[in-house]
């Protein structure tokens, strides 16, 4: 009997051999076509979204004739991601269909994709709490399904949002895990996108130099031959980091390039982000007219786009531009709406900036009371965020340090083992004299090293003592006046001096003794070190009199700092020394002026302090 493979070979080609190579069925051809369309649409997701829509339209038309639940779900997950950028109603329609195709009991990782898309929609609408809950579910479903690619995608979304709301360590952990998964899957584009997100997180933390290094690495690794959404997003984030540093010209060049690429790619959201950035640069340079034109161009492009955060950022730039154009009353509603949007989305950094701009606008309108209240709220947000940033950066650095310390410990153990082996071999070969010589040389080197270190530490300690008040630990009169003299020498009107005097301090010394008076001085200084806003240089002039020096400030801001320092002292608990007596301070405030000398500034501040004392004490007055 002729073997089957040989029989197949002898038969005519057109007849084939059914058992050896089955002929494909029409259903197989449909499945292959759908899979091909899906792969091409997925590839177009980051580079050509319009192509993605066209290919998924073709897939749905084919699925209408040949139903297939899983393949339809794959197509609609892609479409959901596409529409989440530009059409919230279309996104909801896709989510409704996906909910019917993928019930909660479905173990498929496609459900993770659906949950992620739902989260993106809520994030765009400013509901970050709901978005975070959906991302949490998506991560759990992707992990249960064992789909590393889907898991990496949803971890990226969760990590990015955690950075937006200020949970920096958790966000960084998600993004590092994402990067590891993409690296294992050898997805270079996704790796660069994730690295850019890590840079954005560092930028929000205020670590702009670290962020800059990451952005530079991403831009160097990216192909530069053609415009792409990947390059556009990375370049926009780089420009935003330069904006945060106040490098306006460099930021503007990058924003211009982003705008050109976004127009070439017909990427509407990219155009709006670039226009917002250019408006911010123009406002920073005092050109409210051009800034307002850029904002209005962005608002016209907005359409149905579900991105409340971006809309709020445009409103802030609109409010700033109108204030610069001396039309603050027109800009105030935009700033109030932006503050409310940022509040709903828990975007603390942006909310603080919007409140600060509202305060400036109200001040221009003459409403000083409300301006002061809003500026105090903005400053509190800034202080809370700074405290969180310090805590978060410490936690992150501690984790990194622990890892590096373990690595160093392992290296030291390895080196120690090698050294022990060499020592044992050397003991068998070396003479007693060689060993003694080595020991003496080592001891001499250690002694010299210790001596040099002690001299360096002694010098550093002596310098610190020369400039520090021994009782309070604050800079002493010499250092405080040196700082003030440096400010006055610049001849600018953007600095401030505050003189702070403890009320009735002589009575405290007389009634309770000088030792208690010293404890009061220490307690007041400790409160100021804990609660003083960033950038405030404190010092003790002598006795119960202190100073605070501010740079790049306004009178409203200086008065707010004085009030904050006054309240910090009022809250100090000194009952163990003073009983029910409360300690208060009076504060005199003045701004530096062109042509000032040290004596003039001190005289004005002292005069303001005298008015505070004459007005009843425990108050802040300005010159």
Gap between the Cα atoms of 177 and 161, Å rounded: 15
Tokens (6 digits) for 514: 């000088």
CA nearest neighbour of 469 among 530, 373, 517, 540: 540
Gap between the Cα atoms of 201 and 175, Å rounded: 10
Gyration radius (Cα) of the chain, Å: 33
Residue 545 annotated as catalytic: no
Gap between the Cα atoms of 126 and 131, Å rounded: 9
Q: Could you tell me which residues come within 8 angstroms of residue 81 by beta carbon, excluding any fewer than 6 positions away?
A: 45, 113, 117, 120
CA angle at 136 for the pair 135 and 138, rounded to the nearest 5°: 60
Tokens (6 digits) for 252: 């503007």
DSSP letter, residue 377: H
Parallel/antiparallel/unpaired status of strands 496-502 and 585-591: antiparallel
Gap between the Cα atoms of 177 and 151, Å rounded: 10
- Residue 534 · residue 386 · CB < 8 Å: yes
Gap between the Cα atoms of 394 and 445, Å rounded: 36
Strand, coil or helix: what is 2?
Answer: coil
- Residue 275 · residue 297 · CB < 8 Å: yes
Helix axis angle, 477-489 to 598-614, nearest 10° = 110
Strand residue runs (E) in 386-505: 496-502
**Catalytic residue, candidates 136, 544, 567, 621:** 544
Any idea which residue has 């005069």 for tokens? 607
Active site residues: 544
């Amino acid at each position: 009997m002729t073997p089957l493979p040989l029989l197949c070979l002898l038969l005519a080609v057109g007849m084939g051999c059914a058992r050896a190579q089955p002929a494909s069925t029409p259903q197989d051809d449909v499945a292959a076509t759908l899979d091909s369309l899906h792969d091409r649409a997925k590839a177009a997701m980051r580079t050509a979204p319009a192509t993605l829509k066209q290919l998924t339209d073709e897939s749905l038309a084919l699925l209408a004739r040949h139903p297939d639940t899983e393949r339809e779900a794959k197509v609609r997950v892609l479409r959901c991601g596409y529409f989440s950028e530009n059409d919230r109603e279309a996104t909801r329609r896709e989510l409704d269909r996906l909910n019917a195709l993928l019930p909660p009991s479905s173990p498929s990782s496609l459900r993770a994709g659906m949950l992620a898309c739902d989260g993106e929609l809520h994030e765009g609408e400013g509901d970050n709490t709901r978005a975070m809950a959906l991302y949490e579910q998506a991560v759990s479903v992707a992990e249960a399904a064992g789909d590393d690619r889907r898991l990496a995608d949803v971890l990226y979304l969760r990590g990015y949002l955690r950075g937006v709301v200020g949970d920096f360590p958790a966000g960084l952990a998600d993004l590092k895990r994402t990067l590891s998964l993409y690296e294992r899957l050898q997805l270079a584009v996704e790796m660069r996108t994730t690295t850019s997100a890590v840079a954005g997180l560092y930028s929000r933390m205020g670590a702009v130099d670290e962020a800059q290094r990451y952005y530079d690495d991403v831009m160097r690794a990216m192909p530069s031959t053609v415009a792409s959404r990947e390059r556009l997003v990375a370049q926009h984030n780089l420009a935003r980091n330069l904006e945060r540093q106040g490098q306006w010209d460099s930021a503007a060049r990058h924003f211009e390039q982003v705008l050109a690429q976004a127009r070439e790619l017909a990427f509407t959201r990219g155009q709006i982000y670039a226009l917002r950035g250019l408006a911010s640069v123009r406002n920073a340079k005092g050109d409210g007219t051009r800034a307002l034109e850029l904002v209005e161009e962005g608002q016209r492009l907005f359409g149905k786009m579900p991105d409340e955060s971006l809309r709020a950022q445009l409103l802030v730039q609109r409010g700033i531009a109108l204030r610069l154009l001396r039309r603050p009353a027109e800009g105030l509603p935009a700033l109030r709406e932006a503050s409310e949007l940022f509040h709903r989305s828990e975007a603390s950094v942006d909310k603080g900036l919007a409140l600060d701009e509202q305060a400036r606008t109200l001040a221009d309108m003459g409403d000083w009371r409300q301006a002061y209240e809003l500026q105090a709220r903005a400053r509190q947000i800034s202080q809370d965020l700074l405290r969180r940033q310090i805590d978060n950066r410490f936690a992150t650095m501690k984790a990194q340090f622990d890892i590096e310390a373990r690595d160093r410990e392992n290296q030291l153990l390895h080196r120690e083992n090698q050294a022990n082996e060499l020592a044992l071999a050397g003991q068998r070969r070396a003479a007693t004299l060689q060993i003694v010589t080595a020991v003496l040389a080592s001891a001499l080197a250690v002694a010299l090293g210790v001596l040099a270190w002690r001299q360096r530490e002694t010098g550093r300690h002596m310098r610190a003592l020369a400039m520090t008040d021994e009782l309070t630990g604050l800079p002493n009169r010499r250092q405080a006046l040196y700082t003030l003299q440096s400010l006055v020498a610049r001849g600018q009107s953007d600095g401030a001096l505050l003189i702070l005097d403890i009320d009735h301090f002589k009575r405290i010394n007389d009634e309770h003794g000088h030792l208690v008076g010293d404890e009061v001085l220490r307690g007041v200084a400790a409160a100021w070190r804990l609660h003083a806003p960033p950038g405030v240089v404190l010092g003790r002039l002598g006795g119960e009199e202190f100073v605070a020096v501010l740079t790049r400030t306004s009178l409203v801001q200086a008065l707010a700092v004085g009030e904050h320092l006054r309240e910090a002292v009022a809250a100090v608990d000194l009952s163990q020394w003073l009983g029910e007596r409360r300690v208060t301070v009076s504060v005199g405030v003045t701004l530096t002026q062109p042509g000032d000398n040290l004596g003039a500034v001190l005289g004005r501040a002292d005069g303001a302090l005298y008015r505070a004392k004459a007005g009843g004490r425990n108050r802040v007055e300005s010159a």
